[in-house]
Chains A and B, each alone.
Chain A
Amino acid sequence: MTAMITASDLNVIFGKGADRVHAVRDVSFSVTEGTTFSLVGESGSGKSTVLRALSGLNPDWRGALTVAGKALTPRRDKAFYKLVQMVFQDPYGSLHPRHTVDRILMEPLAIHGLSDPDRRIEQVLEEVGLGPQFRFRYPHQLSGGQRQRVAIGRALILEPRILLLDEPTSALDVSVQAEVLNLLQRLKAERGLTYILVSHDLSVVAHMCDELAVMNHGAVVEAMDVGLLKSHQPNHPYTRQLMTASLGYDRAAIDRFEDFGLSE
């Protein structure tokens, strides 16, 4: 098994002087091809920032990132985008409001000059479980789950090997979440994709991933195999607290919650 993605000593710092925020601190991980790796944490933990650095949306990072054996630079070429695609959290904000589904799916094909766009669009719509009747609709004519399927289709149409998933189901109803998670699992199996999943929801993470890293205040507090999480045996107290919280409301447990501040 080869490492598809690696990060070593990744640091991201925003702003200068008093506004300086050290958003990601010395994060290192490695993702095996064909597996799902999760970054888990609460808001401000830096998990999405790692994803944005990896995707090329945020060029201000230091450290070393590699994808498919090649070191990444802050600026990426077209070949990179054909290899790595991303699905965003908010299905209401990630589709252009004035473009039809057809136009949204056509855009990546046009950018990369791929042949036979009609066939590719019909095929990808089929694959994400939307029929041809959705092809000429505008996003406002779609439900949240349908929009997220379009967003997944848009990411897949370039036939990438890696999908970066930024809280792909947190804006969806639970019944729709189940459908989208099943879709992602099926696509991964069919295409041998490698996923990085960013989420705050431990049960989604446990369901989807093979390995995970728990982040707090920009640093990884614990990296583990998913088996440890499934057997409710994480080592770090922060992870244990997250796990207790995700099991539901328990008045007595809440009084034992600690504030895990910066470890510096």
Chain B
Amino acid sequence: MSSETQSPETTGLRAWLLSSSPASRGQARVGRAYVGWLAFRSNHLAMLGLGIVLLLIILAIFAPVIAPYDPNAQVLADRLQFFSAQHWFGTDELGRDIFSRIVHGSRLTLYIVVLVAIIAAPIGLAVGTTAGYLGGWTDTVLMRMTDIFLAFPKLVLALALVAALGPGIENAIIAIAVTSWPPYARIARAETITIRNSDFISAVRLQGAGRMRIIWSHIVPLCTSSLIVRVTLDMAGIILIAAGLGFLGLGAQPPLPEWGAMISSGRKVLPTYWWVATVPGVAIFIVSLGFNLLGDGLRDVLDPKTGGQG
């Protein structure tokens, strides 16, 4: 476009970050991140999502400090109490403080979500980019495998896996991870196919780069942003499946304060003591919402297809 009128506020750190001719690799990278942050910051709902997720992380880190009681301490005399100054969210059927259990449960939620993301996203990325770039029979074999996994409903497959592996939080994580990667592989493959024939990939081929180098340092960085968005949006689903497995007694085992398991045990007293099941339900709802809002905001910033910075 034509010339730009520079606003006078660009000074100091901000000017360094927004510099159009960075002096080092580091400055270029940080400056780029800063521009992304500026775009993200202007989206209020995304900031709300980020706030919720940060709150979850803070809760998880400082759980022992924040929680007023031991999450597993049973005081049978104080069973099923309503909200009060001593027990902010009341107590459950074994007289445990629900607030403390929610706070400690955030650790489990975060643990599940992070582990699933760490396991599933790289598998999906590796399978998808390899299939998409190499094409031919590699593509056929890898994608038919993916299709087999996709053919089963996620929860049913996870249930079957947990039933085979035995109940427990680790097995639940493995089961969810195994069922979550196929959509990531599909996304990564679709992105790779659109990137594969672009001139900048041809250019690096003409420099003599090998396949692994092309996939790893030229295709993967372009697929990760849409994958990060998708994984963030899926976090809500992962939390719900984890809660679902917990609810069915196949996930975290008592007395672990997993939110799904808490709903399950609160269910028995739901008609009279509604808060026992409702409070963890609200927690699941808020955290899922937070991840969804964050994912939407990230999509606006990261996804090259919807504008953003390509």
Asked if A107 meets B207 with Cβ closer than 8 Å, knowing A96-B218, A98-B222, A137-B22, the reply is: yes
Q: Which of A90, A137, A154 contacts B21 (CB 8 A)?
A: A137
Q: B49 to chain A: closest CB distance in Å?
A: 24
Q: Which of B25, B304, B310 contacts A100 (CB 8 A)?
A: B25
Complex contacts, A111 vs chain B, CB 8 Å: 207-209, 213
Instruction: Give A137 to B205 CA distance when docked, in angstroms.
Output: 23
Q: Contact: A140 with B21, CB < 8 Å?
A: no
Q: Contact: A136 with B27, CB < 8 Å?
A: yes
Q: Which of B22, B24, B221 contacts A98 (CB 8 A)?
A: B221
Q: Contact: A137 with B203, CB < 8 Å?
A: no
Pick the most buried of A76, A82, A98: most chain B CB atoms within 10 A of its CB: A98
Q: B209 to chain A: closest CB distance in Å?
A: 5
Q: Contact: A133 with B203, CB < 8 Å?
A: no
Q: Contact: A140 with B203, CB < 8 Å?
A: no
Q: Contact: A85 with B206, CB < 8 Å?
A: yes
Q: Is A138 an interface residue (CB 8 A)?
A: yes
Q: Contact: B24 with A57, CB < 8 Å?
A: no
Instruction: Give A247 to B211 CA distance when docked, in angstroms.
Output: 46
Q: Which of A37-61 contact B (CB under 8 A)?
A: 55-57
Instruction: Give A27 to B156 CA distance when docked, in angstroms.
Output: 60
Q: Is A7 an interface residue (CB 8 A)?
A: no
Q: Which of A57, A107, A133 contacts B209 (CB 8 A)?
A: A107
Q: Contact: B203 with A154, CB < 8 Å?
A: yes
Q: Which of B224-269 contact A (CB under 8 A)?
A: none
Complex contacts, B23 vs chain A, CB 8 Å: 136
Q: Contact: B304 with A57, CB < 8 Å?
A: no
Q: Contact: B21 with A133, CB < 8 Å?
A: yes
A-B pair count, CB < 8 Å, reads 83
Q: Contact: A55 with B206, CB < 8 Å?
A: yes
Segment from B56-64, B121-129, B194-202 that makes contact with A: B194-202
The number of chain A residues with a CB under 8 A from chain B is: 38
Binding site for A on B (CB under 8 A): 20-25, 27-28, 32, 198-200, 202-209, 213, 217-218, 221-222, 304, 309-310
Q: Contact: B21 with A86, CB < 8 Å?
A: no
Complex contacts, A97 vs chain B, CB 8 Å: 200, 222, 304, 310
Q: Contact: B202 with A57, CB < 8 Å?
A: yes
Q: Contact: A90 with B207, CB < 8 Å?
A: no
Instruction: Give A138 to B199 CA distance when docked, in angstroms.
Output: 17
Q: Is A233 an interface residue (CB 8 A)?
A: no
Instruction: Give A76 to B202 CA distance when docked, in angstroms.
Output: 14
Q: Which of A155-198 contact B (CB under 8 A)?
A: 158
Shortest 4 CB-CB distances between A and B: which pairs?
Answer: A94-B199, A81-B208, A133-B21, A136-B28
Known: A85-B206, A108-B208. 9 other contacts (CB 8 A): A55-B206, A56-B206, A77-B208, A86-B202, A94-B203, A136-B25, A136-B27, A138-B32, A154-B207
Q: Is A134 an interface residue (CB 8 A)?
A: yes
Instruction: Give A66 to B65 CA distance when docked, in angstroms.
Output: 75
Instruction: Give A93 to B222 CA distance when docked, in angstroms.
Output: 14
- Name the residue of chain B whose CB is nearest to the CB of A96: B200
- Name the residue of chain B whose CB is nearest to the CB of A89: B199
Complex contacts, B199 vs chain A, CB 8 Å: 88-90, 93-94
29 A-B pairs with C-beta separation under 8 A: A56-B205, A56-B206, A57-B205, A76-B208, A77-B208, A81-B206, A81-B208, A82-B208, A86-B202, A86-B203, A86-B206, A93-B199, A94-B199, A96-B200, A96-B218, A96-B222, A102-B25, A108-B207, A111-B213, A112-B207, A136-B22, A136-B24, A136-B28, A137-B22, A138-B28, A140-B309, A141-B20, A151-B203, A158-B207
Instruction: Give A135 to B194 CA distance when docked, in angstroms.
Output: 28
Q: Contact: A78 with B25, CB < 8 Å?
A: no
Complex contacts, A208 vs chain B, CB 8 Å: none
Complex contacts, A95 vs chain B, CB 8 Å: 200, 203
Instruction: Give A154 to B209 CA distance when docked, in angstroms.
Output: 14
Instruction: Give A20 to B301 CA distance when docked, in angstroms.
Output: 43
- Name the residue of chain B whose CB is nearest to the CB of A93: B199
Q: Contact: B310 with A140, CB < 8 Å?
A: yes
Q: Contact: B21 with A107, CB < 8 Å?
A: no
- Name the residue of chain A whose CB is nearest to the CB of B21: A133
